Amino acid sequence: MVALLASLLGLLLAVTGLLLAGLAFLTGAAPLLNGLWLGVPTLALGPAGYFVGRSAPSSGSSTTATWLGVAATVAGAVATLFLLVLVLLGLFGPPPA
């Protein structure tokens, strides 16, 4: 149960961050890009859900938590990668032509 909650929370945070970033891209509202910071805790919650799900006795919820943990980790990594690119572009500007 704990694995399922950690995986679902991680996936929810990552998807929320990516949706806020997409909305910021479409509307031009730059403060919504701060939603990408939600990908950082997902990088901890996803693997936690995965490993707790793997260590649980074999059941349907532990298998679901394992796959949700993997999905949360991937979504968190994507959100964090977008965040890193935006931070580096903000600090150093666009690359030279």
Q: What is the pLDDT of residues 27-68, one digit of tens each?
A: 888 887 888 888 888 888 888 888 888 887 776 667 788 888
In this predicted structure, the answer to whether residue 76 has a pLDDT above a threshold of 70 is yes
CB 13 within 8 A of CB 35: no
Report DSSP letters for 22-71, one per residue.
Answer: HHHHHH--GGGGGGGGGHHHHHHHHHHHHHHHHHSPS-HHHHHHHHHHHH
CB 69 within 8 A of CB 48: yes
Q: What is the mean pLDDT of the chain?
A: 84
